[in-house]
Amino acid sequence: MNQPVRLTLRPVAESDDPFLFALYASTRAEEMAAWGWSAAQQEPFLRMQWLAQKRGYEARYPSEGHRILEHEGRPVGRLWVVRGEHELRLVDVTLLPAYRGSGLGTSVLRALQEEALAAGKPLRLHVLRNNPALRLYTRLGFTPVAEAEQETQEPYLALEWGPR
């Protein structure tokens, strides 16, 4: 019988930047392959995109919700959650490719759902409409927010789970 993989969380440190960049780049691998760019062409583009995302998140969201997901002392992903007065906001959850589809993402999301339920708050997130994770969110009961209430537009979809 397979043992479930256990994750631990720790705060993000500046020394995690190389890992966080590699993690981000892994989410764009298919896209880069489709473009046919060489590694030399991809690296500066991905670094620019990663830095823009990093700076944008840091400007909008409190850093205390940003965590590294570790398995057996090794970083395997990241989680950024904002615990607001009226909601839990899942800013980002990303796993290395070797851990995607393993049930880890499901267990992280279920733990957040339990936290939201206990707090009596909805769990909200935004996802690219073509992101394979949308199937996972739907399976776990996340539903689209009414268009009039959406903060973002194409290509993102606002989803929520739990009490309003």
**pLDDT, tens digit (0-9, with 9 covering 90-100), for 83-107:** 999 999 999 999 999 999 888 999 9
**Domains of the chain: which residue ranges?**
9-161
| The pTM of the whole model exceeds 0.85 | yes
Mean per-residue pLDDT, 131-154: 82
Kind of pairing, strands 123-128 and 88-95? parallel
Rounded Cα–Cα distance for residues 116 and 163 (Å): 8
In tens, the pLDDT along 48-94 reads 999 999 999 999 999 999 999 999 899 999 999 999 999 999 999 99
Q: How far, in Å, CA of 123 to CA of 161, rounded?
A: 5
Residue 147: pLDDT band (50, 70, 90) is low
* Among 150, 158, 93, CA closest to 128: 158
What is the fold, at CATH topology level, of the domain defined by 9-161?
Aminopeptidase (3.40.630)
Tokens 């999301």 locate to 109
pLDDT recorded at residue 31: 86
Rounded CA separation 144/124 (Å): 10
